[in-house]
A = this chain, B = another copy of it.
């Protein structure tokens, strides 16, 4: 594989001149520059990024470590990050931690070792290994879930508030036994949504019933049992606040298996807008999080910190929006009764 000195030799100049030409630096004699270009293309020269990075001690690459590639919420974040990075001349590499601390740690280590310019992470847990990065001065921004250690920017959503709103909405619609199916303990969004649900009950003067609360993994295909347990309670809940869309799928499947109908039989509000929300009958009421926006803001924050390492870390909280649809309306009941 042709190196820079091959090109230099062929063009009859020094490696410095080749480097300057190929990087568009200072003013190089047009004649020499042309000779260099020619030699480079003739040799099919491809710069060795490894060597360049080693010399420069930096890379125009951002790492984005998300906890589930198959969750549309996170892929939407990825789009936001990518769009911003792209226009700033950065590339982004996506790493899937799969909600596993070990994988997350591994990817963060690689990011560190490969000296990426910065990383955006949706931490699996509150006590992650981001200090590997922050202690070395690599800018980090946390999305979706906070980090206990200071030093990173954060872009979160006021999800507790949103969960309360969802609960209040269900209660106002006339549901009386509102349950909650949330994510694993220790995952902040899961705990927050549960707390918001409890806030909603309390505000309405309803006493919480622990048996109406279940937890499940956030990933697809993990919440089946929890959903079934809830629906098979005696008496069953007549409405559910559901913490994300993969879990919502499980709930809807369990409902269908029992011949139950969302809305009329069991009120439903699920976190995260999905393309199919309006395709099911009744349509799914959701708490829409500004996923793309989260990614956009996170990338902007990261680039700002890369440009100025002394910048103080900030915390941004975005708002979620309740979109009421048919799955949180009981009004079919009178018609049927």
Which residue in chain B gives the minimum CB-CB distance to A107? B91
- CB-contacts of A147-175 with B (<8 A): none
B72 touching A76, Cβ below 8 Å: no
- Chain B residues, CB < 8 A from A249: 275-276, 279
A44 at the interface (CB under 8 A from B): yes
- Chain B residues, CB < 8 A from A79: 69-70, 96
* Identical copies of this chain, number: 2
A53 to B78, CA, bound (A): 27
- Chain B residues, CB < 8 A from A336: none
Which residue in chain B gives the minimum CB-CB distance to A46? B112
**A interface, how many residues as a size bin?**
35 or more
- Chain B residues, CB < 8 A from A114: 49-50
A129 vs chain B, min Cβ distance (A): 11
A98 to B85, CA, bound (A): 14
A112 vs chain B, min Cβ distance (A): 6
A256 at the interface (CB under 8 A from B): yes
B113 touching A48, Cβ below 8 Å: yes
A281 at the interface (CB under 8 A from B): yes
A317 to B57, CA, bound (A): 43
A137 vs chain B, min Cβ distance (A): 8
A135 at the interface (CB under 8 A from B): yes
